[in-house]
Every structure is written in structure tokens, then in C-alpha cells.
Amino acid sequence: MAPAPMQMFDIPFATVFCLQLTLPSAPVTYHLNKTEPIDFHFVNGHVETPAAPGIAGNYEGPFYRFFNMDETFSYGDGVVVKWPRDSVPSPEEQMREMQDRFLKDVDTSPACDLVKAVLEKEDANPFDGILGFSEGASIAARLLLDASDERLKRRPKFAIFLCGIPPIEAEPVGMLLADNTSRRIDLPTAHITGSKDVFLPAGMALHNLCQKESAARFDHGGGHTVPWGLKQTQGIARAIRATVERWKTDDSALS
């Protein structure tokens, strides 16, 4: 199954700037491009890292991430740390445990500067939306909340978070969570999560940072990845398109 050829359309339905997501997006792109296409532009992180479980052997390296974390948090000897999802009362509480154990020395500013530099190279920043996978979602969310820093020349009109992680403030280092900040991402968002993802509380905590009325969620039932199954990729594509269409509808109402 190959993506539908982009040249069959003159103008894309939307243009999206993507952080750290390449090959796994191909089936989703295929379903999106059956109608009006959504044009994706990708950028990787700048920190080289070992392949995650399920990636090595399936994709060629090198592999990159946006910021370093304690390696015991990430994959250790090949098994992702499992969080006590049933014993902690809220996603925010679980994120505080994660932060205290593994994120004390994380600096996301270089990654934000990298993304800003890439955007500044684009002519007039042609992107309508922003998409982030895992750490990329964290960087995207921080840029969206950091409006006063003007890291984005033209603020995206919608955001897509896949297996997301909440944004991390630089000084002092700490996660921005719904119960420790009044700031919210107030544009249409799609939250793609997996019920078997050990980082599911992170995705839910990011969801809670967004305006509820315009935050859609789709659970593909898998782990910390973008699945290739037909029903899963169709569901992800529907959630993305619904978010883009919500932006289009809201934009038309305001014009």
C-alpha cells in the first residue's frame, strides 16, 4: 500500500509541520490523501539515540530524539518502564513522579531553538498546523503555550499530538500540567493515544492542557507507536481530518 501521489492535487487541504515522525505515518497519509491531501513536512530531533524496541531491524538508522532523558526511563535493557497507572489518582500526579525520577536535568530549549530555526528558513512560514510524536509533541505543545516568546512566526491553527508528552518548562525544569498552570492550548487539537502505551498518562495529561471543547481524542489500542493496521490508521486519519476541518469551519465563521 503506497501513499496516493501528491501531484494529483494542485493545492493541499492543509500543510502541517511535523516533529519526529516519518515512516510510520505512511498508511495514515494514504488514507488522508484519498480525498483532499494534507501536505506533511518533517524534521527530526538533534540528539542521536539508540533505536527503541520494535524499531531496530525494521527501520534504518541513525535515530534521533529532541532531548535526553535518563536511559532507564526510556528503554533500559529493552523494556519500557511501566508506570503505576492504577495506584496514582491522576495523569498529572503520574507526570510529577516521572519528572522527579527522570527529568531533573532535561533541557528542551535547544530543541525549541532547532524548530524555530527550521521554521525561520521557510518562506513566510507556510504551515497551517503542527504535529508532534512523543517528545515532538512536547516540543510542539511548549511552542504553542510560549506565545510571548514568538518562537513561531505565524501561530499554527491546529495541532496533532501522537503519543504525546506534556511540555517541559526550561527554567526551572518542570512539566506544565493542567493543575500547575492556567495556560491552555486554545486551538483545535487531535490526541492520538494507545491504551497499551505505558506513557498513556502523559498523553492524557497533554490532553488536559488543551481546550476541552476543541480537543478530539482517538485511541488506537496499541502501544507507544503509530500502528499500521487498517482500522487503526483509518481512525487516526479521521481524527486528523476532523481537526483540520474544525479549523477550516472556525476560520470561515470568523472571516
Quick check: is 46 catalytic?
A: no
| Other beta carbons within 10 Å of 210 | 25
Question: Under a CB-based contact definition with an 8 Å cutoff, are residues 129 and 158 in contact?
Answer: yes
At what angle are helices 109-121 and 135-145 packed, to 10 degrees? Answer: 80
Quick check: is 224 catalytic?
A: yes
Question: Under a CB-based contact definition with an 8 Å cutoff, are residues 196 and 222 in contact?
Answer: yes
56 backbone φψ class: left, alpha, beta (φ>0; ψ -120 to 50): beta
Quick check: is 134 catalytic?
A: yes
In SS3 terms, 71-119 reads as HHHHCCCCCCCCCCCCCCCCHHHHHHHHHHHHCCCCCCHHHHHHHHHHH
Among residues 134, 138, 207, 220, the one annotated as catalytic is 134
- Provide the β-strand partners of residue 49: 63
Among residues 39, 197, 207, 220, the one annotated as catalytic is 197
C-alpha pair distances (Å), 42 with each of 22, 104, 135, 154? 7, 29, 14, 18
- What amino acid positions are annotated as catalytic residues? 134, 197, 224
